[in-house]
Every structure is written in structure tokens, then in C-alpha cells.
């Protein structure tokens, strides 16, 4: 009803509209300088971070978000101002319409330039089909997940795994083993087509991860947690 559209992104490859990514980077940088050592008070700084960002001059529009949205800059002091006569509504509407149009044109121009720069380093996306065998990149995998001691000596790609479903032209769903606890839907830039090797070159796949217990359970709910001797203990169902 409000005209809001969902735009999903995937783990390790949150490429949505670049502009949002850039804003997130700035907000993270701001919060990084003010949060405490335990990083548990970052939410308290969000309102100040929001105000700071909206009061900053945008490189593309040459105006702050406050100026574009409201036609004026926010009052930065607590002094009570004298009452003034309001400007004519038509004049204000014309000024706002002009500012929005200038901002829109500037943002479109900036988006086109960003797309042109990004397309220079992009290549054609390979087309995948159901039941294709692919290798998945380990670039974003931790050493704990891969059970390795050194990341530098870890395999660049592992597999092969079967394509179970084509989600979109940029994402596929893979049929992954249970020990590999990652999201099944991956971006196509993280996989490559598997090509059969000669017998002498085939690599024996590593054994499945062994659980240090007789039984393995799935956590249904976490009831409580407590830190003991520097380690976090959990009460789970």
C-alpha cells in the first residue's frame, strides 16, 4: 500500500544499490569511533549518527538531505527565535520542486557514472542450469568452518556441488552437505562451473566434520547466558 519494494541481498555479497552500501560504510565508521570497548552501546549513538549524516553536504546534490527534504537547514542551537511571517506557499513549493529536480538529476548522473566504473571490471555472468556441478569459493569461509590451521594454505574452491534451483540470473541454490553450515543460496560470482578432471588429477574430498559427541542436537531456543572465566556459557533447549 505504501509502495515499498523488497530488495534482497545475499550473504558475503550485499550488492544492492551501492548508495545504501556507501551510507552504511559511513555510519559504521562513525559508530566505530564512539562505541565503547564491548561495543554494546552502539544503538545509543544511532540518533546522533542519523542527524550528523542528514546534516552533511552530499557530493552529488551539493545539498544536505535536510535541505532537500525540508527546504532549510536544521537549527543547531537552543536559542528561541523570534516569530516571523511565513513565506508564500507557492514560492516555497516552487523552490522545493526545483531542489528535488536538481537533486534527482545529480543523483541519476552519479548513478550512471558509478555504473560505468563498475561495468569496467565486470564480466559476463555464466549461465547455470539445474543439476550443473559447481565449485564454491572459500574466500569468505573461516578457518573454523573449514577445519584448517592456516587460511593462506586453504583451498580456493571446494566441491563439486549440484545446482538445486535457479533463484535468479545472479543467484542459485546449491545442494550442500550438512557440515558445511552456510546459506544455500549463493551469488554466481562465488561459484565456477566444475569441469571433470583426469583420474590422476582428481582430489579426494575431505571427510565429513566429526562431532565431538555421540549425538548432535539442534538448538531450538536459548534461555539464558552467562560468562565464566572469559567464556560464554548458554542454557539452551
Tens-place pLDDT, residues 169-192: 888 999 887 666 777 888 888 898
Q: What's the pLDDT at 86?
A: 66
Q: Please check whether residue 133 is in contact with residue 164, taking contact to mean a CB–CB distance below 8 angstroms.
A: no
> Stretch 119-128: mean pLDDT, rounded?
74
Q: Please check whether residue 228 is in contact with residue 217, taking contact to mean a CB–CB distance below 8 angstroms.
A: no
Place of cell 556507501: 22
Q: What percent of the chain stands above pLDDT 90?
A: 3
In sequence order, what E strands does the chain have? Answer: 133-137, 157-168, 171-175, 185-187, 191-193, 222-228, 231-236
Q: Which of 199, 205, 197 is CA-nearest to residue 158?
A: 205
Class of domain 125-196: mainly beta
Report d(CA 195, CA 133) in Å as an integer: 8
Q: What's the pLDDT at 78?
A: 47
Entry pTM: 0.41
- The better pLDDT of the pair 93, 63 is held by 63
pLDDT level of residue 76 (50, 70, 90 thresholds): low
Contacts of 10 by beta carbon, 8 Å cutoff, 6+ apart? 171, 183, 185, 186, 187
Tens-place pLDDT, residues 22-56: 778 878 887 888 787 778 888 888 888 888 788 88
φ/ψ of 2, rounded to 5, equals -90, 0
Q: What's the pLDDT at 80?
A: 45
For the chain, the structural domain boundaries read: 19-72+88-120, 125-196
Amino acid at each position: 500500500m505504501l509502495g515499498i519494494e523488497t530488495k534482497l541481498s545475499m550473504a558475503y555479497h550485499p550488492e544492492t544499490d551501492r548508495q545504501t552500501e556507501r551510507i552504511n560504510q559511513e555510519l559504521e565508521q562513525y559508530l566505530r569511533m564512539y562505541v565503547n570497548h564491548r561495543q554494546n552501546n552502539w544503538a545509543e549513538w544511532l540518533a546522533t549518527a542519523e542527524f550528523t549524516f542528514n546534516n552533511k553536504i552530499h557530493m552529488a546534490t551539493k545539498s544536505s538531505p535536510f535541505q532537500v527534504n525540508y527546504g532549510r537547514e536544521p537549527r543547531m542551537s537552543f536559542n528561541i527565535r523570534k516569530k516571523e511571517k511565513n513565506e508564500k506557499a507557492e514560492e516555497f513549493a516552487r523552490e522545493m520542486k526545483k531542489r528535488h529536480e536538481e537533486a534527482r538529476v545529480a543523483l541519476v548522473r552519479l548513478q550512471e557514472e558509478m555504473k560505468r566504473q563498475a561495468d569496467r571490471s565486470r564480466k559476463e555472468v555464466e549461465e547455470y542450469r539445474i543439476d550443473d556441478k559447481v565449485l564454491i569459493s572459500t574466500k569468505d569461509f573461516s578457518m573454523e568452518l573449514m577445519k584448517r590451521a592456516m587460511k593462506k594454505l586453504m583451498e580456493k574452491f571446494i566441491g563439486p556441488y549440484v545446482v538445486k534451483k535457479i533463484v535468479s540470473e545472479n543467484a542459485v541454490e546449491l545442494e550442500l552437505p550438512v557440515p558445511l553450515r552456510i546459506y544455500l543460496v549463493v551469488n554466481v560470482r562465488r561459484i565456477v562451473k566444475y569441469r571433470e578432471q583426469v583420474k590422476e588429477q582428481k582430489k579426494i574430498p575431505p571427510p565429513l566434520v566429526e562431532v565431538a559427541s555421540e549425538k548432535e542436537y539442534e538448538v531450538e531456543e536459548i534461555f539464558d547466558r552467562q560468562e565464566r572465566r572469559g567464556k560464554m556459557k548458554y542454557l539452551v533447549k
